[in-house]
Amino acid sequence: MRQQEIAYVNLSTGETEKKPIPETMRRKYLGGRGIDVYLLYNHITPGTDPLGPENALTVSAGFLGGTLAPSSGRCHIGAKSPLTGLIGSSNMGGFFAPEMRFAGIDHLVVTGKADHPVYLWINNGDIEIRDASKLWGKDTVETPALIRSDLGDEEVKTICIGVGGENLVRFANVISGLKNAAGRTGMGCVMGSKNLKAIAARGGQDLPVAYTEEALRYLEHLLKLMRENSLLQEQSRLGTAMFQMMMDLIGKVRNRNLQRNQLADGQGLYAENILKFSSGTAACFGCPVHCRHRYQVPEGEYKGQWAEGPEWTTLGALGSEPDCRRMEAVLVGNYLVNKYGVDSLDFGSMYSWAIELYEKGITNETTTGGLKLEWGNEQLIYEMIQRVATRQGFGDLLADGPKRAIEKLGENAAYYNIHVKGMSWLHTDDRMAPSHALGVATASRGADHLRSRPGSDAHMLPPDQGEKLFGFALPGMTGYENSGKLVRWHELIYAISDALGVCKFQALYMSPSVVSFAEYAQLVRRVTGMELSAADLMAVGERICTLERMFNNREGASRDDDMLPERYFTEPTPLGPEGMKGKLIERDKYERLLDEYYAAHGWDNSGLPTGETLARLGLDKEPSRVI
C-alpha cells in the first residue's frame, strides 16, 4: 500500500508541509474521524478561540476511502466548534475524499487565516493557495462551477462554503456537489473565519489493493448482503426520507418545536411524494444504494433549479418541526439551505423554537424586527433561511445558535430550546425511547443522531439473537435496562464507519443482516493488508470515543453537559399509539442510564475516563504529537 500522507497548510504564512503517517497511527485510529480527533487533540490548545487563526481545521478521507470498499466516499471535517466550543466533527458523502486521495493527500490540517479570500488546489501531491476574491459572495452552486472553469477541468471535485460560512453563521455547513453537507458543528463557519472559500482536488494516483482477487470476491459478498436487504432496497427507492412515515405513525416526530409528536395530516411529507418530482436517483462514490433523489425546484423564485435530496433530517427540520405539510415547500427549502450553506437541522430547530416563543408571548414583533412568526408559513421559512445566512435582522440572533441566542433572549426562552451542549436536537421526539434519548444527549459533538443512534432496539430481535450480536439483552424501543450498554456499543460501530470512510447506513446498526465489525475487519485485511480483528476494531472505536471525550473534558465539559432538555422530563408525549402516548424520560432512571453508559466506556461517574482505561487504550500520554 502506498505511503499515506498528511499535509499541513498555514494560511497566515502560506507555508505547506507534508509528512507520512506511521502505520502505528493507522492501527490506533485508522483514518477519517479517528485520525482527525487525534490531530485536534494534539494541535489545539485548551481555550482556543474557534474563530481564531489558531484553530485547526482537518479534512480527512477514511482508511478505505476511494477503494473498492462499498460506499467509501465519506469525508470527515473537524475543528473546535464555534457552535458548542467542544469537539467539532462533521461527515459527508460524495466524491471529494476519494479525489483528495487520488491527488496524493489523505489528511489535511489547515491553520492560520489568509489576509484575503483563498481556496486550496490539491493536484497530484502539490498544494497551491489560490486567490478566491472573485468567489467570495458566491453560493455553493456557483463556486464549484467557477473553480472548474478557473482550472480548466470539469472533473475537479470541491468542498466549499456559501454565504452562511462567509457571514460566520455558527452552524454554517460545508457543501460538496449539490447536497453533500458536512452540516453539524459549524465547520463552514470555521472555513469562513480563515477566509477559506473552498478546497479543490484532482488526481490520478493509484490506491493499491493488497489482495486483489480476495478483495473482489469479498466485495461481491458484501454487495449481495446489501442488495438482498429490504431496508436498503427501500432506501434505494425512496432515500432516507423513507423513515418519515414510520416515525410519524408511531408518534416519534417533532412537530411545532416539541409541542406535538405526530404531524396531523402529515402524509404530504411521506417519501412517496418525492417520486413525482424525482428525475432519478444517484449515489456517492462506490455505493450500491442510490439514496439521493435528483429533482428540479418545483415552484417559486427558484423554479427549475437542479437539486438533490431531501434527507430525512431536512424533511423534519423544514417540514414537521415548523408545521409545514407540503413536500413542494420542503424541496424549495432544501435547495435554499444547501445553496446558502447552512445546516438544515440547526436552522429548522432554531426557527421552530422562535415560532413557539412568539406564540407564547415571550417574544414579539419588536424582538423579531416586525416579523409575525407563525406555524406553516412557507414563504417565511424561505425568507428566514436567507436572513439567517446573511445575518439580517432577527436572523442574526438565530444564526448564533442556541446558547448565544438564549443569552440574548433570557432564561424564559431557555426551557423551549431543544438542544444539548449548544447544538440543536434532531427532528425526532425521543421521549418514549430512552436509548435514543441517551444517545443524542451523550453524543460528543452535541445533540446528535449520527454518533450512536441504536436502530437495533427497534428491530424486535429474538432475545437469543440480541444476546449473540451485542452480548446483552436488548431493551426494546421504550425500555431502560441495558440502554447505556447499547448506546456505547453503537458508538463504537459508528466511530469505525467514520474512521474507515464508509457509509454507516450499511452497518449493523441499520439491520442485523448487513456489515458487522468482523466483516469490516475482513475488508480491511483484503484491501490494505493490515491484520485487525473485530476486537481490534472495537478498541479503535473505543479509542476514538474516549479521545473525543478527553477533548471535551479539557474544554470544561462534564456530566451536566450530557443532560436532556428539561422538557423531556416534564412534558409527556401528547399523541401516538398505545405505548408511545403519555411518555417522558424518568429523571432517576436516566441518571442510572448515564452511570451505566459511563461504566461501559470505562469512565467514572462524572464522565472522566479512568487511568486504567487511558492506559488500556494507549491514551495516557496524550498529547503525544506523533503527527
Q: Do 136 and 196 meet the contact criterion of CB atoms below 8 Å apart?
A: no
* DSSP three-state, residue 182: strand
Cβ atoms within 10 Å of 460's Cβ, excluding its own: 9
State pLDDT tens for residues 535-585.
Answer: 999 999 999 999 999 999 999 999 999 999 999 999 999 999 999 999 999
Residue 373 has pLDDT above 70, yes or no: yes
Under 8 Å between Cβ of 227 and 288: yes
What does the pLDDT read at residue 509? 66
Helix (H) or strand (E) holding 413: helix 411-414
Q: What is the pLDDT of residues 11-46, one digit of tens each?
A: 999 999 999 999 999 999 999 999 999 999 999 999
pLDDT given at position 458: 65
302-360, pLDDT tens digit by residue? 999 999 999 999 999 999 999 999 999 999 999 999 999 999 999 999 999 999 999 99
Give the per-residue pLDDT at 314: 97
Q: What is the mean pLDDT of residues 258-278?
A: 95
Nearest residue to 21 via CA among 148, 146, 108, 97? 108
Q: What is the mean pLDDT of residues 173-189?
A: 97
Over the stretch 114-147, which tens digit does the pLDDT of each residue have?
A: 999 999 999 999 999 999 999 999 999 999 999 9
pLDDT at 1 exceeding the cut of 70: no
pTM passes above 0.85: yes
The sign of the dihedral angle between the CA atoms of 60, 556, 113, 626 is: negative
Q: Compute the mean pLDDT over every residue in the chain, rounded to the nearest whole number.
A: 95
- At residue 586, the pLDDT reads 98
Average pLDDT on 355-384 reads 97
The pLDDT tens digits for 391-429 are 999 999 999 999 999 999 999 999 999 999 999 999 999
pLDDT of residue 460: 63
Which position has the higher pLDDT, 435 or 510?
435
pLDDT of residue 459: 63
**Domains detected in the chain:** 5-202 (3.60.9.10), 234-366+375-424 (1.10.569.10), 434-616 (1.10.599.10)
Distances in Å between the Cα of 402 and the Cα atoms of 88, 331, 368, 375, 620 are: 16, 25, 16, 20, 34
Percent of the chain topping pLDDT 70: 98
- Helix H segments across 59-198? 96-102, 142-151, 163-166, 187-193
Q: What percent of the chain has pLDDT over 90?
A: 92
Strand, coil or helix: 210: coil
> Which candidate, 541, 540, 558, places its Cα nearest to that of 549?
558
Question: Distance between CA atoms of 19 and 4, rounded to whole angstroms?
Answer: 9
Residue 354's Cβ-side half-sphere holds a number of Cα atoms within 13 Å equal to 29
3-state DSSP helix/strand/coil % of the chain, to nearest 5: 45, 15, 40
Q: How many residues are present in the chain?
A: 627
Q: What is the mean pLDDT of residues 275-301?
A: 94
Q: DSSP assignment of 555-602, as one string?
A: TT--GGGGPPPTHHHH----S-STTTTT----HHHHHHHHHHHHHHHT
Give the span between the Cα atoms of 549 and 552, in whole angstroms.
5
Rounded Cα distance between 411 and 362, Å, is: 10
Q: Which residue has cell 478566491?
A: 132
Cα 26 to Cα 6: distance, rounded to the nearest angstrom:
12
